[in-house]
Structures are given as structure tokens and as C-alpha cells.
Chain A
Amino acid sequence: MFVHIFRYRLKCLFKDKVTIFWTMIFPLVLATFFQLALANIGNNERFSPIEVAVVNDENYNNNQIFKTVLNEVSTGEERIFNLQTVTLENAARLLQDGEIAGYMVAETPVRLVVSKSGLRQNIIKIFLDRFMQTSSAAMAVRAQDFDSIGKEVLEEVSISKAEPNIHLNYFYSLIAMACFYGSLFGLREVMEIQADNSSIAARINIAPTHKLKAFIYSMCASFFIHIVELLILLIYLILVLKVDFGARIGYVLLTTIIGSIAGVSFGAIVSALIKKKEGLKIAILITFSMVCSFLAGMMMHSIKYSVSENVPILSYLNPVNLLTDALYSLHFFDSLSRYWLNMALLTMFILVFWFGTYFIVRRRKYASI
């Protein structure tokens, strides 16, 4: 039965021109436009240490841990920061003149002052977040082991040796968007299994086939075809548009597969929850995907940083941003902790989508058809 349903679902989905357009053709076209638009900007830049300042006051001098860690990450060839120790007034002036990306004040907790959002400011913030998290944990265990704290922070925040390209974020969010356009597949699967949604579904419900099994087999076909589409997109990005995804291609593939599952599952739960016509459901899914992609920085990369700085919770609740950020952290950081955090959150989303869909779709009888 699995082969029978799976094979015919593949045929149906493959010939569904509207869905194929949104899930494969549109991302390919958009990627081409991105490449054309960004090629002229030519903003490839090798990573150089970030110019930062720390305010040299009594708190700073008394906070030996912070002082040691900051020095640790500001020395050597692979340093993150070019650190200046200055007065508060000088720090403000340097920031105003654009000579530093931000300055830190050793209060409790350490305060970061920046004049705008961006990649460099984001790195400083990640460094401080990791420092505060690691130092408070370490303080409880070994009060004097400043060096090891510095190493842990450095390990967490260290920048990979790949050439960072700020424009990569556009392609990351594009992949994430393509993943969530897979929601159109999930939508169709639910439409064609819920007897109150379509006549085809009513016919399937009357057949001597277990409804949930038929639904799962159909969903497998949707996952399969969408993953294939995403692989085509990745191959096009890597081989044709020459987008550099770094050395971690295996992780990129994993992220894409998880993203596809999240996207298709999202479409399924929205379709199951909203008892409206198919056109409205499609509009809701496409709008949602576009808004989430916008907030993940697909149209303007600074939006991503603004959201993570001003409304951090939104960064974690936006599945498109989680995917974008996972790809971003794969390329940009040696450490995988941020990557796995994103993956864990996405997996939680997938589980919520699955359980939600299950509780709605498992119903066998309907109040009205």
C-alpha cells in the first residue's frame, strides 16, 4: 500500500504546476536575481579583528575575570578584537567617529554600547553573552581559573577560517524561505485527507485504508519531492552561482532536510487548523513565509540583527530565521553550539506541528462535510 500511495502521490505532486513553481522555480529565479544584484557590489571581505573599546574604570579594573578574558580574545593572530582601553568620554567619541564597532562598560552585567546593528556588533554581543553565561557557570566551580574561562569563550565565539561574506545571508534566508514554501505540499496533503476539505478526501476516507497511514505515506512523498527540489536549489547555488557554503556541506544538507520537514509539516498544521478555502490557506502560507524571510534578513540583512537585538524572542520563534541562522553559524563559527541550538528549536517546532496535525487529522468522523 505504501508503494501504491507514494508512487501516485509523487505523480500528482510533480504535475502540480502551481506548487512546483512556488517551491522550486521561484527560489531558483530569486537566487539568480540575488546573484546578479550582489555580484556588482563585490563586498567580499576577509575577516579582520573587530575594533572595540572597553571603558577603563574602577569596575573594569576590579573585574579580573572579564579583564583576563578580554585580553585573551584580543591577542594573537586569531584574535577577535582590536581592543582599546579608554575613558567613557573617549569611548563615546570613538563610537561616534565610527572608529570602533562598540564599547563595553564593565557593569553587572557588562553593558555593550553600539551605534548600529550589524555583523560586527552581533559578534561582540555573542561574545558578551557567552562570557556571562560561561563565567557565571565557571565561578561556581573554580573561582580563580580565569584562563580556562577565556578559552571556553574563545572556543564558543571563535570565527571560522572561511571567508565571511555578508551577502551569504541573503542566500541562507532564501534557502530557508524555499524550505518553508514546502508548506504548500503539507497543505495539499491535509486537504486531500480531511473529508470535510475535499471530495477526493471523502473518497479516501470511505476506502478500507487506514486514514493516518494513507496520510503518512502521502506526507513521505511530499517530503521526498521537496527535499529533491531543495537539493536542486543547493546544487544550482553551489555549482552555477558559485555560492560558497564552506567546508560543512554535510551539515548544510542536514539543515536543508530538517528545514524541508519543518516547512512541509508547517503547511500541514496550518491546513488542518484553518477551516477555510484552499486559496486563502495558500495566501496565508506564502505571506507567512515571506514575512518570516524578511525578518530573517532576506531583503535587508540588517533586519536580522535588529530583530535579534531588539526583539530576541522573535528570532527564536521565527523558524525561517532559525534555519538562516543555522546556516550562518555553520559558515561563520567553528563551534557548532549555536547551530545545534537552532536545530534543537526547529526540531521542537516540527514536533509541535506533527502532534498538532495528528490530533486534528486523526478524527474519523466530521460534524459537517
Chain B
Amino acid sequence: MVIRVKNLVKRYGNLVALDHLSLDVKEGEIFGLLGPNGSGKTTAINCILSLLKFDKGDIEVFNKPMTPESYDTKRDIGIVMQNVAVYKELTVYENIDYFCGLYVPDKVKRKQLVDEAIQFVGLEDYVKFQPKKLSGGLLRRLNIACGIAHKPKLIILDEPTVAVDPQSRNKILEGILELNRQGATIVYTSHYMEEVEQICSRILIIDKGKAIASGTKEELKNMITIGEKITLQTYGLTPEQISAAGNLPNVLSAEYNGSNLVIKSTKGKNNLESVLDFAKQEGIQFGTIYSELPTLNDVFLEITGKELRD
């Protein structure tokens, strides 16, 4: 096991930031820690890294208890912080070299690692730039390079794509998958469910410091009753029509907001066909109709009663 956390409790005065949180991260996986802002993701990471004191619980990294003095363990960890943590006075190359040098004293080996990291994040054209001259996306890439240049076995990325343009975001996500292919175990925290769905092999959803569900994305989606969500863009439905839609076979609920009729159904092969028949029978004119499988947001909504982005 790469990380094992058992019954972790962290309080800030009366506020319980982590409430008996347990998690296991296996070697070679991309583990997603998903939760809304303030759910305790960064607090959990800081406790795992032995930066934060906690009230109760056990933390092991690479099967050893994690302490601030666990230098051997730390050597194999790379961290990409939520906030960009680089020196504004140093160039791109110097920043990566400085942080890599805290892990790798050998100059020759370090130069090779730094060059590889620069190439990996695509900053070859900016090596002599100071951070203030980089765009937000490039700055995030520099932040990642500083965290992974020493080729760690475990990489923790704490919301690495916040305020990043789509192009850089895709580059970052592709990079994470590549790091994983190269053998690194990844812990990825985010409140963007699409990203977590896209790259994580296993996901833990947390809310208010508590683990509320965990598993692969398929396992998580199987936990809820909704199997399909069909949306019709239409106007002027009567209450009777909405009620009739709710009574169709397999339908769990039908909600209408004046322009979209959203029908949530259990799993089934013929849900879309049945809705189309219903629309034809009722003479409902619609602009578009589409079917979606449930998302992690639906999982979160069904378990907590609120949206992931609330």
C-alpha cells in the first residue's frame, strides 16, 4: 500500500475538518479525492504529508508511519500544491533545479532530470523566463515540473488545474496519465468531477471531512438509483403532461423548468424510445433531445442532497 490513512480526525477549534477519514492508495493507481471546496481534501493531503497536526488517526506512507523526519519516505514523494509555489526571482530552469536539488544532490544527474521535467511540461521555450512573464497555464506547468522533476514514486497533485485554460488543462491531464504510465502512483484532488472521471482509476468522494463513497467511477454510479437522464428542450408543457411523463415505465422523476424537461430513469434499454413515444402521443414539439448517463455529481447529489459545485 502506498498510502494508508485510518480514522483521521482533524479539528480547527469546534470545526471538524476531517471526521474519521480512512483511505487506501494502491501502487500504480490514480486515486481521485473528490469533494466540493472546503470538504477537507487539502487538509487531508497536508496531514498525510505531515505538515499538519491532527487530533487522531494513523497515517502510513510506503508502509511506514509518516513523520516530519521521514526523509527516506519524503524522497519518493512529489507534491504539486494548489497555490503556485515558485520563487519569483528565479528563472524557470533555476526554480526546477532548486527544488530538484533538495532531493537530488548529484549535479550531473540533476541536470538530466531538470531537462526531462522541462520537456515533460513543455516549457523548453521558457527556460530563461521569470515566473511573472509566464501565463497562468504555463505557471501551473512550472509548478508541476518543480514537484515531479526528481521522479518520485508517489505524486500528489492538489487541484493542479484551478484557473487554467482548457489547452493547459488538457496538457496537464495528459501529463498525469503519462506519469502514471511511467510507474508513478498518483493522488489527484479536485472539485472538477469531469477531470476525476477522466483520469482516476479509483475515487473517494468526501464531504465535510467525511468519506461518503469510494470505488471506481462505475462502482460509484452503480450505487445510485438513477441509470439514465433524458432531457427534452421544449416549451409550454402542461402540469398534466409533466405528471404523465413521471408515470412512464422506469421513470424516477420528471422535472420541468420552463424550457427543459428532465426525466430521470432507472437503468433500461428502452427509456429513450419510451420518452419519444410519449412526446409523439402528447404532440409535444421539442428542439433537441439527449440522453446522459449519470455523473459523479448525480452520485454526490443523491448521497448528500446537494450539488458538487454548491
User: With A4-B101, A207-B102 in contact, do A200 and B86 touch (Cβ < 8 Å)?
Assistant: yes
Q: For the complex, what is the distance from the CA of A263 to the CA of B105, rounded to whole Å? A: 32
Q: For the complex, what is the distance from the CA of A233 to the CA of B50, rounded to whole Å? A: 44
A276 within 8 Å of B (CB atoms): no
Among the stretches A10-18, A50-58, A291-299, the one at the interface with B is A10-18
Among the stretches A76-84, A139-147, A341-349, A361-369, the one at the interface with B is A361-369
A200 contacts B52, CB within 8 Å? no
Q: For the complex, what is the distance from the CA of A202 to the CA of B83, rounded to whole Å? A: 10
User: With A1-B105, A203-B81 in contact, do A12 and B52 touch (Cβ < 8 Å)?
Assistant: no
B99 contacts A207, CB within 8 Å? yes
Residues of B within 8 A of A365 (CB): 50-53, 68
Q: For the complex, what is the distance from the CA of A209 to the CA of B70, rounded to whole Å? A: 10
How far in angstroms is the closest Cβ of chain A from B213?
27
How far in angstroms is the closest Cβ of chain B from A244?
38
Q: Which of B68, B75, B84, B90 makes the CB contact (< 8 A) with A12? A: B90
A195 within 8 Å of B (CB atoms): yes
A8 within 8 Å of B (CB atoms): yes
User: With A11-B90, A364-B68, A369-B52 in contact, do A200 and B74 touch (Cβ < 8 Å)?
Assistant: no
Residues of B within 8 A of A205 (CB): 51, 68
Q: For the complex, what is the distance from the CA of A202 to the CA of B79, rounded to whole Å? A: 10
A115 within 8 Å of B (CB atoms): no
Q: Which of A195, A209, A366 makes the CB contact (< 8 A) with B102? A: A209
B69 within 8 Å of A (CB atoms): yes
Q: Which of B85, B94, B101, B103 makes the CB contact (< 8 A) with A200? A: B85
B71 within 8 Å of A (CB atoms): yes
Q: Which of A1, A14, A198, A366 makes the CB contact (< 8 A) with B52? A: A366
Q: For the complex, what is the distance from the CA of A365 to the CA of B49, rounded to whole Å? A: 10
Q: For the complex, what is the distance from the CA of A345 to the CA of B126, rounded to whole Å? A: 51
A202 contacts B85, CB within 8 Å? yes
How far in angstroms is the closest Cβ of chain B from A16?
6
A4 contacts B53, CB within 8 Å? no
A204 within 8 Å of B (CB atoms): yes
Q: Which of B49, B52, B72, B102 makes the CB contact (< 8 A) with A368? A: B52
Q: Which residue of B lies closest to A4 (CB)?
A: B101
Residues of B within 8 A of A12 (CB): 87, 89-90
A16 contacts B75, CB within 8 Å? no
B179 within 8 Å of A (CB atoms): no
A207 contacts B74, CB within 8 Å? yes
A11 contacts B89, CB within 8 Å? yes
A61 within 8 Å of B (CB atoms): no
A202 contacts B103, CB within 8 Å? no
Q: For the complex, what is the distance from the CA of A364 to the CA of B99, rounded to whole Å? A: 19
Q: For the complex, what is the distance from the CA of A205 to the CA of B69, rounded to whole Å? A: 10
Contact with A along B71-115 (1 / 0, CB 8 A): 110110101010111110110001000110111010000000000
B46 within 8 Å of A (CB atoms): yes
Q: Which of A203, A211, A368 makes the CB contact (< 8 A) with B12? A: A368
A199 within 8 Å of B (CB atoms): yes
Q: Which residue of A lies closest to B97 (CB)?
A: A8
Q: Which residue of B lies closest to A201 (CB)?
A: B85
What are 18 A-to-B residue pairs whose CB atoms are below 8 Å? A1-B102, A4-B101, A16-B89, A199-B85, A202-B46, A202-B85, A203-B147, A208-B72, A208-B75, A208-B103, A210-B71, A211-B68, A214-B102, A365-B50, A365-B53, A367-B52, A367-B53, A368-B12
**Top 10 A-B pairs, shortest CB-CB distance:** A364-B68, A199-B85, A15-B89, A207-B102, A208-B71, A208-B74, A199-B83, A208-B75, A203-B85, A4-B101
Residues of A whose CB lies within 8 Å of any CB of B are 1, 4, 8, 11-12, 14-16, 195, 198-200, 202-211, 214, 364-369
